Amino acid sequence: MNVLSENNSITETAILVNPNLGHPRFLEIDQKLKKKKFQTCLLFISDKRDPAYIRDYLNDRIKIVPILDYKWQSQLLLERERKEKKGFLTKVKHFFKRKKKQISELLSQKKIEKTQRRLESLKSRVYRGSPIFPSILEVRSVLTHSIHDLEYINNEYCIPQDYLIKNHAFETLDVFYEIKIEFTLADELLDLFRIRNFIMFDIVQEKNGITERINYHSLVVSKNNWHDFTFVQATDLHLAQRNDRIYGIIKEWMDTFKIENLELIEEAYKKDQKTKKREEQAELFKLPLKRRFVNPNNQFRIFIKLMNRKVFRNELEFVVLSGDLIDFTLLSKLPKDIKKYVDFDYDFSNWKIFKKIVLNFPQKKRRGVIKGEELLCPIFTILGNHDYRPYHYDIRWAGLYRKLGLKLEEALAVNDKLLALPISAIVKSKRALRAYWSQVNPLNDFSIKLGNNNFIFLNTGSDSFKNFLDLITGHPSLTGLTTKQIIYLQNLASHKIQQKKENSFLFLHGPPINPKGKRSFLKRLSKKISGKIITKLDEFKESVIKKIGIKKDTRIDGKFNVKTGTVSTNWSSLIEFCKNYCNLTLAGHTHSLKEFRLDDPKGLKTRVFNAPPFSLKKVENPAAVYYDVYSEIYTSAKDIEKAGPFVVQTPALGLGGYRNPDLAGAYREIVIKEDKLDSFKVKFIDR
């Protein structure tokens, strides 16, 4: 049976809601591997109101399928060879089917380490193992609860949210059940834990041998004790089917365009250069399209391959994708009259493209599209403002085509094929999330605890028209946070977080802190340092100011508006939580690298405008804010603990910023050693 079927249509009486791809459930196995039996709870949705019927219906229809890699089997044999020093050649022949002489040379005792390195460099060869059939222990109906109810933080996986029903995420199904199951791991899986930190599982629903629904990567059994581990944050993927079409559209246009006309356009473009920066860009544009075009989908495919290598070396436990997972919801190729009727269905959405890339489903061959791999580690996902946008937009807007590495005439060629309407492109809709809730992650806000580490995930909402100035200047604020979300944070602080004993990490899409690049005119007039007016944010780095001997001016919150393009509501409460309860707050949205540390303002609290020009009311900033590249400055757990907490913006994985296009392909690697935050540096997929 091919368990990688894409048949996820909602036609059954009861289907699995949670856990899912973007919200997997972690189960712990002991280091000595003595534990074989596991119990966990699953959330189902149905149209039936009889628990006994649901139990009978689901009996023998649920399978738990392990996700394995042929390389792991070879690695396990290598590990045994190190211990036994015999019998390896015979076993490996079944995996590689090579001539006996070749294998003998390759796998001689003197070259085991070399073989290990070669295995690591091989492409992942993923397969599904033998299914496990769990027993159903208990079925009970459950009601929806808001996230600000205390009940929610005690059982987040099985407390459903009412927006799933209101927005018909599962069509007409509206009755929720918590299903308690028990399953046993086979000895061959336990054996793999000798070389692997974790094993992921799909949860499959089947009827008469036919797969009806798969919640991919939704269950994880881990032997990590969570004292020493690494995870990765990546943000702003901006995936879309359109990204894979752009290269082919432009190449087709270039093949049919007369060379002399192309040269005339190039000459006209050069004459229009008014600044040195544009001249430098013109130099970039002399490169062939293949070398300058940035396809966000390809960026993610490369990222997955890099993460898989880390997984093979047991150097990665999970990945957090912090918003703007897709660029917009509906596929660009859909005709206007069809878009009216699809109602953001999964099959017509870029959420399907997201899953295809994560799971490496077969894709249509297109020019410029690289081959992928299935991601072999768990992911946690949260939403960004682009995830609310239903329709595609013109890539010429705000000069986006330059971030893609395209020339203006090439952008025009793309727009001719994929015409974007200006009004529909700025619309936002919660219904755009229907496929996300049903196929990726049913929760907007959630938390998990692994060892002494709290991980909190918050949805900062869609584009906000309240902060109009931020929107028109290209730094859109986001609608969050709601009062319910703030109460949720307060509940976690009161009942879940033990400050002195635990680490807490907060993930959002919209950044809590985001200063303007330059100081306001009035502040420039009023402040001088050493006779020089300092205007740019980078000139206020804490390390720079201290070098010139002025300690009192290292704070930036009194010099810059630190609330530009952040959350529109409950901003002060969010900053308070970051300052008092979080070791590290990680965000994206700005496509830039900015890092801040928070401290006690010591009676000198600053104020910022809440939402100009609609509201000139000022809100209080409860923290002193400092700016620098702290992830490079502090290189030990002791220094990080002393200087924190930190609030950081991670550059985008998909596309660079308008001012810094070279920042594309970024991710942040967070390392915990001996229960302490030891590193949170930014890295790049191509460096």
Residues with Cβ within 8 Å of 468's Cβ and at least 6 positions away in sequence, in order, are 612, 613, 614
* Closest C-alpha to 680, from 533, 503, 519: 503
Q: Is 200 helix (H, G, I), strand (E, B) or coil?
A: strand
Q: Report the mean per-residue pLDDT for the chain.
A: 85
Residue type (1 letter), 532: K
665/301 Cα distance (integer angstroms) = 11
Question: Looking at the DSSP assignment, which residues form a beta bridge with residue 668?
Answer: 233, 682
Q: Which strand (E) or helix (H) includes residue 647?
A: strand 646-649
One domain, residues 423 and 505 = no
Give a yes or no: residue 274 inside a domain: no
How far is Cα 126 from Cα 3, in angstroms, rounded to an integer? 12
Residue 517 pLDDT: 64
Return the CA Rg of the chain: 26
Q: Which residue has the higher pLDDT, 278 or 687?
A: 687
**Each residue's pLDDT tens digit, 202-244:** 999 998 888 999 999 999 999 999 999 999 999 999 999 999 9
What is the band of 530 on the pLDDT scale with cuts at 50, 70, 90? very low
Of 88-102, 203-217, 305-319, 644-658, the range with the lowest mean pLDDT is 88-102
Cα–Cα distance measured from residue 378 to residue 293, given in angstroms and rounded to the nearest whole number: 30
Alpha-carbon span 492 to 156, nearest angstrom: 12
Closest CA to 22 of 354, 394, 340: 354
Beta partners for residue 314, in sequence order: none
CB-based burial of residue 329 (10 Å sphere; 0-12 exposed, 13-18 middle, 19+ buried)?
buried
The reply to whether 275 falls in a domain is: no
Report the domain count for the chain.
3
In a domain, 555, yes or no: yes
Please count the CA atoms within 13 angstroms of the CA of 241 that sit on its side-chain side: 21
Residue span of the structural domain in which 18 resides: 1-223
Q: Which of 60-64, 79-83, 178-182, 570-574 has the lowest mean pLDDT?
A: 79-83
pLDDT of the residue at 429: 80
Asked if residue 660 is part of any domain, the answer here is: no
* pLDDT > 70? residue 79: no
Residue 616 token pair: 């000139």
Both 138 and 206 in one domain: the answer is yes
Q: Out of 439, 457, 478, pick the residue that ends a domain.
A: 439
DSSP letters spanning 320-362: EEES--BS-SB-TTS-HHHHHHHTT-GGGBHHHHHHHHHHT--
- Do the domain assignments include residue 632? yes
pLDDT at position 281 is: 55
- Compute φ and ψ for 409, nearest 5 degrees: -65, -30
Q: Tell me: do 517 and 391 sit in the same domain.
A: no
pLDDT attached to residue 96? 54
On the question of pLDDT at 521 being above 90, the answer is no
Distance CA 245, CA 366 (A): 7
What's the confidence (pLDDT) of residue 478?
82
Categorise residue 97: left if φ over 0, alpha if ψ from -120 to 50, beta otherwise: left
- Within this chain, do residues 422 and 524 fall inside the same structural domain, yes or no? no
Q: Which pLDDT score, from 0 to 100, does residue 209 have?
A: 83
User: 297: number of CA atoms within 13 Å, CB side?
Assistant: 26
Which pair of structure tokens corresponds to residue 358? Answer: 């994560």
> Who wins on pLDDT, 121 or 599?
599
- Measured CA to CA, the distance from residue 621 to residue 613 in angstroms comes to 19
In this structure, the answer to whether residues 544 and 429 fall within a common structural domain is no
172 and 31 in a common domain = yes
117: exposed, middle or buried (Cβ count in 10 Å: 0-12, 13-18, 19+): exposed
- Same domain as 506, residue 490: yes
Of residues 445, 433, 237, the one with CA closest to residue 346: 433
Question: What pTM was computed for the model?
Answer: 0.88
Q: Sort residue 261 into left (φ over 0), alpha (ψ -120 to 50) or beta.
A: alpha
Residue 18's DSSP bridge partners are 43
3-state DSSP assignment of residue 173: coil
Q: Are 325 and 441 in contact (CB under 8 A)?
A: no
The model's pLDDT over 198-210, given as tens digits with 9 standing for 90+, comes to: 999 999 999 888 8
52-61, 150-159, 250-259, 531-540 — which is least confidently predicted? 531-540
Q: Read off the pLDDT of residues 485-505 as tens digits, 9 standing for 90 and up.
A: 999 999 999 999 987 789 999
**Residue that terminates a domain, selected from 223, 257, 282:** 223
Q: 145 and 170: one domain?
A: yes
pLDDT for 5: 47
Q: Find the helix packing angle between 112-121 and 70-84, rounded to 10°.
A: 170
Task: Assess whether 501 and 414 both reside in one domain.
Answer: no
In a domain, 645, yes or no: yes
Residues 475 and 565: their CA atoms lie apart, in Å, by 5
Q: 593: burial class by Cβ within 10 Å (0-12, 13-18, 19+)?
A: middle
pLDDT of amino acid 524: 44
Strand duo 318-322 + 229-234: pairing: parallel
**673 domain residue, yes or no:** no
Q: Cite the beta strand spans of 376-484 per DSSP E.
A: 379-382, 446-450, 453-457
Q: Which of 1, 10, 4 is nearest to 347 (CA)?
A: 10
CA angle 597, 601, 606 (to 5 degrees): 100
Bridge partner residues of 625 (DSSP): 598
H/E stretch holding 471: helix 468-472
* Neighbouring C-alpha atoms within 13 Å toward the C-beta of 580: 13
Q: How far apart are CA 246 and CA 35, in angstroms?
A: 51
How buried is 100 (Cβ within 10 angstroms: 0-12 exposed, 13-18 middle, 19+ buried)?
A: exposed
The residues, any chain, with a CB within 8 Å of residue 464's CB and separated by 6 or more, are 470, 471, 476, 477, 478, 479, 568
Q: Are residues 577 and 459 in the same domain?
A: yes
Q: Ranked by mean pLDDT, which of 237-246, 271-280, 414-423, 547-556 comes out on top?
A: 237-246
Say whether pLDDT at 322 is over 90: yes
Give the span between the Cα atoms of 33 and 194, in whole angstroms.
Answer: 9
432 with 457, same domain?
no
For residue 452, is it within any domain?
Answer: yes
Distance CA 462, CA 485 (A): 15
- Residue listed under structure tokens 């992928």: 372
Distance CA(312)–CA(76), nearest Å, equals 12
State how far the Cα of 372 lies from the Cα of 244, in Å rounded to an integer. 13
Strand order in the sheet with 379-382: 379-382, 318-322, 229-234, 666-673, 676-684
The fraction of the chain above a pLDDT of 90, given in percent, is 56
Q: What is the pLDDT of residues 90-100, one digit of tens each?
A: 555 555 555 55
Q: What local confidence, expressed as pLDDT, does residue 148 receive? A: 95
How many whole angstroms separate alpha carbon 231 and alpha carbon 671? 7
96 and 209 belong to one structural domain: yes
**Boundary residue ending a domain (439, 470, 499):** 439
